[in-house]
């Protein structure tokens, strides 16, 4: 597999090592850099980055997007591999590896985000936050949509209105590629807030 640069690979617990990258990943990073450099609105940036990501998804083998090490999971929880963090902090690329049944909490994000399913499928439940109905009451979450994203599916969004939960509902490993408009090498995660509120489902 051709390699040209080196980036960090990090687990969800923060462990970080140096790992080679594929030529395809390097090419994708250049494409994202060009889009982000235009300085457009977050939602438009996410849409255009999603267009760049789609052709790379599902590519395996010598011409693939990820090295074997970047596809390794963790039996305890979903695993995050940090593939690239731009030196000016303007964007990051990560791979999330999900073993069957692994899931996120209900959360939102620090920045615009693009997600593409590279292998398997991801299940997603999206929520809307309802304020408390009376003083001293509690806000609550209402599920608005359930989505199953197969290999090759791409979606992008920008806060607000980006509350969701994601899980691997199939019987095999799932891998997704995420691009964030933030420095994940510094933040460690794209999560802005975890919601522990009553939800209708």
* Neighbouring C-beta atoms of residue 38, cutoff 10 Å: 9
- Distance CA(74)–CA(81), nearest Å, equals 11
Residues in contact with 90: Cβ distance below 8 Å, sequence separation at least 6, in sequence order: 36, 181, 183
Q: What share of the chain is helix, strand, coil (3-state, %, to 5)?
A: 20, 40, 40
pLDDT in tens, 46-89: 999 999 999 999 988 888 999 999 999 999 999 999 999 999 99
- Distances in whole angstroms, Cα of residue 45 to Cα of each of 40, 74, 156: 6, 32, 9
Which pLDDT tens digit goes with each residue over 134-152?
Answer: 777 788 888 999 999 999 9
pLDDT of residue 201: 60
Between the alpha carbon of residue 92 and those of residues 70, 144, 145, 199, the distances in Å are 15, 28, 27, 31
Task: Assess contact for 87 and 36: CB atoms under 8 A.
Answer: no
What is the pTM for the complete model shown?
0.84
Smallest Cα–Cα separation from 91: which of 186, 166, 21?
186
């Amino acid at each position: 597999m051709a390699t040209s640069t080196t980036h960090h690979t990090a687990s969800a617990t923060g462990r970080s090592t140096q790992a080679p990258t594929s030529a395809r990943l390097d090419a994708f990073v250049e494409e994202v850099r060009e889009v982000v450099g235009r300085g457009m609105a977050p939602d438009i940036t996410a849409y255009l980055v999603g267009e760049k990501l789609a052709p790379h998804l599902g590519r395996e083998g010598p011409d693939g997007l990820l090295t074997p090490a970047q596809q390794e999971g963790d039996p305890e929880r979903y695993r995050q591999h940090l593939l690239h963090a731009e030196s000016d902090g303007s964007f990051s690329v990560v791979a999330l590896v999900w073993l069957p049944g692994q899931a996120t909490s209900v959360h939102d994000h620090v920045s615009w985000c693009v997600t593409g399913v590279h292998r398997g499928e991801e299940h997603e439940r999206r929520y809307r936050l309802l304020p408390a109905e009376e003083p001293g009451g509690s806000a609550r979450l209402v599920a608005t949509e359930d989505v199953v994203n197969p290999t090759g599916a791409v979606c992008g969004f920008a806060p607000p209105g980006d509350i969701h939960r994601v899980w691997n509902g199939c019987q095999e490993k799932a891998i997704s590629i995420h691009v964030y408009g933030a420095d994940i090498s510094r933040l460690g995660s794209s999560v802005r807030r975890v919601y522990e509120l009553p939800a209708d489902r």
